[in-house]
Structure 1
């Protein structure tokens, strides 16, 4: 059976099951005359779903963050206050309407809107099954039992939804379900922790004031969203500053353009392989992009000299790490990367510059940049105008041999070992593209 057939049968099965559940829950919902309340809460939930918040994990790196929405907490609260039938229809309408709007704005196929709606219906139904023993109105919305019901409801919803989404992704992309689950379940504890207080507040508001009470929950949510938007704009200015400074270095010296890009990409990959946190890896990328910033204030005649440098000229070149750090020192948001720029020519044996540090005295990020920078300087650029004027470029194997020869003295041994693996992978990918 082809993957197209598998995904087709899977989506049809999801759709049939979801429609069946909606038919099953539709009759009691209309009979209890909850339709006006349903429509009011749906309108608020759709608004919340369309106005997601991206909360940055770290202030210095906003590209990776947590997408925070109150639509799921609202569904959990509705199931506990109004019953599972109400929750199922709420989640179905919210997912479908918000999905159609998003699909129109982002050019997404409506097929995936239907699949996501089916995921929502099945997830909300699962919450309904575990919520049956809980009677929030009798126990009290501020009781420990109510809090336990919220946490259990969120856990079941997120677990079922994650499993369904993972299965769909695995079938659609042709990858192993186990791998997708391993990636998607990592964030479950964090998501549940974030959504628990929102669900609890939504439940209390619905129980006390009905649909109108949700406005009290959404008002601070929207204020929080606006605050994060302003914070993200500040982060965009930060990244724009990094790009502008990198462009300044590239404009100053023709050979640095490709060099800085390669060093930055390789340094980030090595940092990832060494197990540094994602935000730290991105800071390594940015530090590598700016590691030669100090050269922009050095004498052009020395930097572009075609012959070997004299001792005095070499002493001038050796000033560039500190000069780069000094240029950035009055920029607070660049503070984490300044030491790495200042120390990217230090050596484990203490023979480096400008401070003569040894081994663990040198930040691992600076050790990564040192090895990658030296390697790329040895191989030279891919274009003639990117090559150093006074240096014969080495082959990849020759440069790797030089790195290994300097491991433990000039370069960090572990960094060299990991970087060698990165280069081998890069070479294989480049050869595969050339042969395609």
Structure 2
């Protein structure tokens, strides 16, 4: 028996609405022009196959433009079946594993609900399949686009929020904040598709495929550029740690924990991206520190420690002139400051210290305490957390310590933090 938790309830509601749409529109499918139906199904399948993966296992496609065109040409009832058949064939092509069966079926249901809901609104506002007049029904076209966007992003945000146990605000800001401009950019292509098909026919769709593929390629390049940025930063972090075998993997662990803390604090996606970059590179300034100091197995002299204290400012100066790292530089610069003003390199205190720097400081110290160093063995995880809590309000911001504790308790990453 299937347990009716939030996730299963979400699946059932989507599938119920989708099933009702399919039953309601079946008679319209039987009366539809089969050639046009097949053409739009193939176009939608092609568009959905050429998807671009985002974070949180979400994907973006140019299928929106095809579904808009289908609604305008065939009407929403037949377009429901275009969505159903194209998505079903797409999932069959990927050979659905049993453990993801309900998730994939729900994904098909989401497309049916998006096309059915937005198309229904469009036709209720005066839209007529096969007839396009932007001047007469501009409000209907805008409602079609907006409704599709709201259903798509709204339902996916709720679903991912349930799946990953994150807030709706966080899922939206990290995954879908860019989506409305993307929909606005693709909507004219959908209208163009409908106009071409109505006036020229199937051969005219070859003209449509060019801008459609260009739009998909442009977005793919954008996502790949972001991936290259992150991989470049990770390579730099690895190069830094090559000087000190005891800190191998330290930057990635700090980045992972810092991001989790920021998510717990409900920070937005831009902040989290900058924080991740800064956390990966927080020790980049150690490039300028002699290896004999970094690897010294006993206590540092005052002169040696004064050299160590230069690494935050040196690190910030290295990254501040790189466009996509400029905002991360202040987090690197101040991650050794303390709430009581006794930190370095400037001696900031309290709220003067950027929150991102505070988060990195907590993640940095936690990881340092729980891993072996040349001068001591790793602390027990519980002891490390107790030590951080004792320093709350003196060295660290209390809100960040509380967030760390919640992250460790909720996500159970005690072992991940040190492995």
TM-score norm. by structure 1 comes to: 0.74
Deviations 1:62-95 (CA, angstroms, capped at 9, x unpaired): 7479744343443343333333454234323322
Structure 2 unaligned residues grouped into runs of 5+: none
Q: What is the aligned-residue RMSD (CA, Å)?
A: 4.4
Paired position in structure 2 for 1:374: 365
The question of whether the paired residues in 2 share the 8 Å contact of 1:45 and 1:94 is answered with: yes
Q: 1:413 aligns with which of 398, 408, 413?
A: 398
Q: In 2, distance between residues paired with 1:42 and 1:245?
A: 46
The question of whether the paired residues in 2 share the 8 Å contact of 1:70 and 1:198 is answered with: no
Q: In 1, distance between residues paired with 2:356 and 2:38?
A: 54
Paired position in structure 1 for 2:2: 2
Paired position in structure 1 for 2:87: 95
1:34-113 matched pairs, under 5 angstroms: 34-53=33-52, 63=55, 67-103=59-95
The question of whether the paired residues in 2 share the 8 Å contact of 1:206 and 1:213 is answered with: yes
Say if 1:20 and 1:371 are closer, same or farther in 2 by CA, change over 3 A: closer
Say if 1:219 and 1:282 are closer, same or farther in 2 by CA, change over 3 A: same
Q: 2:373 aligns with which of 376, 381, 387?
A: 387
Q: In 2, distance between residues paired with 1:166 and 1:306?
A: 50
Paired position in structure 2 for 1:141: 133
User: Structure 1 stretch 151-160 or stretch 325-334: which is displaced more?
Assistant: 151-160
Q: In 2, distance between residues paired with 1:276 and 1:163?
A: 20
User: Structure 1 stretch 361-370 or stretch 343-352: which is displaced more?
Assistant: 343-352
User: Of Structure 1 and Structure 2, which has the larger fraction of its residues in helix?
Assistant: 1
Q: In 2, distance between residues paired with 1:245 and 1:346?
A: 24
Deviations 1:356-388 (CA, angstroms, capped at 9, x unpaired): 2333332211111122223333x241xxxx324
Structure 1 unaligned residues grouped into runs of 5+: 55-61, 432-436
User: Structure 1 stretch 222-231 or stretch 70-79: which is displaced more?
Assistant: 70-79
Q: In 2, distance between residues paired with 1:420 and 1:116?
A: 35
Say if 1:158 and 1:375 are closer, same or farther in 2 by CA, change over 3 A: closer
Deviations 1:239-271 (CA, angstroms, capped at 9, x unpaired): 221121221233221221253343222211111
Deviations 1:16-64 (CA, angstroms, capped at 9, x unpaired): 76774565224322xxxx233333333322222222346xxxxxxx747
Say if 1:23 and 1:198 are closer, same or farther in 2 by CA, change over 3 A: same
Paired position in structure 1 for 2:330: 339
Say if 1:296 and 1:380 are closer, same or farther in 2 by CA, change over 3 A: farther
Q: Whose radius of gyration is greater, 1 or 2? A: 1
User: Structure 1 stretch 273-282 or stretch 398-407: which is displaced more?
Assistant: 398-407
Paired position in structure 2 for 1:28: 31
